[in-house]
Amino acid sequence: MGEAFGLVLLEAMASARPVIASNLPGVRSVVSDGQDGLLVQPGDVADLVAKMSLLLADPHRCREMGQRGRATVEQRYDWPVILPQLLHIYEQVLHDVRSDG
């Protein structure tokens, strides 16, 4: 079973590190292939090796991907961004519970 969302990916991206991850639906919602990380086909060792080699051979690309990943995390997942969304969800749940009760 793959990770549904990719919290570990976000942690790496927040540290300005490029990521390599399996091309799964939850992961694709976090990583933009070729922009802030690279996606590999699940179980494809040759693809993983190729993507690792690509990054190891190009430190400049690694820095750029890491910086884009950091920017992605700040724009989409920083607390000032997600807190209002989280509060809205909590308020909706409380409203629904009170309405049913």
Over the chain, what is the mean pLDDT?
Answer: 93
Per-residue pLDDT averaged across 60-84, rounded? 95
Domain assignment present for 2 = no
61 found inside a domain: yes
* Amino acid code (one letter) for 29: S
| Structural domains in the chain (count) | 1
> How many other β-carbons are positioned within 10 Å of the β-carbon of residue 9?
23
Please name which of 71, 60, 6, 2 lies closest in space to residue 36, comparing C-alpha atoms. 71
CATH of the domain at 41: 3.40.50.2000
- Name every residue whose Cβ is closer than 8 Å to that of residue 79 and which is 6 or more positions away in sequence: none
Query: Average pLDDT of 58-75?
Result: 96
Q: What is the per-residue pLDDT across 20-61, written as a single tens digit (0 to 9) for each?
A: 999 998 899 999 999 999 999 999 999 999 999 999 999 999
47 by Cβ neighbours in 10 Å (0-12 / 13-18 / 19+) ranks as middle
What pTM does this model have? 0.80
Residue range of the domain that includes 19: 7-100
Q: What is the predicted pLDDT for the residue at 4?
A: 64
Digit-coded pLDDT (tens) for 3-19: 567 889 999 999 999 99
With respect to residue 69, please indicate whether it lies within any of the assigned structural domains: yes
Give the number of other Cβ atoms within 10 Å of residue 22's Cβ.
19
Asked if residue 84 is part of any domain, the answer here is yes
